[in-house]
Amino acid sequence: MSEVAKPERVVTACLVIIGNEILSGRTRDANLPFLATELNRIGVRLMECRVVPDIESAIVETINEVRRKFDYVFTTGGIGPTHDDITADAIARAFGVGISEHPDAVDRLTRYYADPALFTPPRRRMARIPHGATLVDNPVSVAPGFRMENVFTFAGVPMIVEGMFHAMKHELVGGRPLLSRTIRCSQPEGFIAEKLGAVQQRHPDTEIGSYPAFRGGKPSVSLIIRGTDPARVQAAFDDLIGALIELNAEPEEIPVS
């Protein structure tokens, strides 16, 4: 007896990466792959990512667009002590609220920088939090992130993003995680595409992606089957393996690392 599928609401998220260093090509972002993977584990699907410069109006406009469009929004970057750290002010402006020192944030930073000479005015700026926001713990370097309604503001340094995410993830309410199976095959996309499209049509509740690459100079293809229902993912997987064997495409499952 197979279970009757209930109509499923997908819980969505958008990542907003704030930083000229990403847009200039100097720094390669590492937060998207981390957040995408971790969010999926708890049933939240990353549906869009935007990289925006350190310009307040650009951040405000983007935040106000995406916070209405997605269940959760995460921002990374721009909450440090320097003049180019403008994210907290931009979030306050996006929500039309004030911003000032949060007593609990001041407290945490005062304890961390035990010597008052080290607790410089720029470091004290990191205690400025938009009114109405709650703090997100920073287990790495103390200066907190914050949550404003459905928007979570994190630092940019990957180690801190990871710490903040694990500190707040219990606040997220997800749906069913997206399961995935990956098959690599030895025939190029143009050769398998017709049968692949037919498999996709027979399994509309799964989503089959085809990703070409060059391996040792030769074209190769990874096929990924994604879906929330284990039985349906398995059925699509079996069907696809059969189709690839027929095509002499030597299918091989790639285990999840």
Q: Contact at 8 Å (CB) between 13 and 39?
A: yes
- Nearest to 17, CA basis, from 219, 225, 161: 161
The binding site for a second copy (CB under 8 A) comprises 20-30, 32-37, 40, 46-54, 58, 80-85, 113, 118, 120-123, 125-126, 141, 157, 159, 178, 180, 189-191, 193-194, 196-197, 200, 207-214, 219, 224, 226
Shortest distance (Å) from residue 200 CB to a second copy:
5
Tell me the backbone φ, ψ of residue 11, rounded to 5 degrees.
Answer: -85, 125
Shortest distance (Å) from residue 109 CB to a second copy:
10
Q: How far is CA 80 from the centre of its chain?
A: 21
In sequence order, the 6+-apart residues with CB closer than 8 A to the CB of 77 are 17, 18, 19, 22, 87, 155, 156
Burial (CB count within 10 angstroms: exposed 0-12, middle 13-18, buried 19+), residue 141: middle
Tell me the backbone φ, ψ of residue 195, rounded to 5 degrees.
Answer: -65, -35
Shortest distance (Å) from residue 148 CB to a second copy:
22
Shortest distance (Å) from residue 34 CB to a second copy:
7
Reading the block at residue 126, the tokens are 């990191």
The residue (of 136 and 196) whose beta carbon lies closer to a second copy is 196
The residue (of 159 and 245) whose beta carbon lies closer to a second copy is 159
The residue (of 54 and 239) whose beta carbon lies closer to a second copy is 54
Q: Contact at 8 Å (CB) between 203 and 232?
A: yes
**Residues paired with 210 in a beta bridge:** 223
**Distance (Å, whole) CA 60 – CA 88:** 10
The residue (of 86 and 235) whose beta carbon lies closer to a second copy is 86
**Distance (Å, whole) CA 62 – CA 49:** 11
The residue (of 84 and 250) whose beta carbon lies closer to a second copy is 84
Shortest distance (Å) from residue 235 CB to a second copy:
18
Shortest distance (Å) from residue 3 CB to a second copy:
25
The residue (of 97 and 194) whose beta carbon lies closer to a second copy is 194
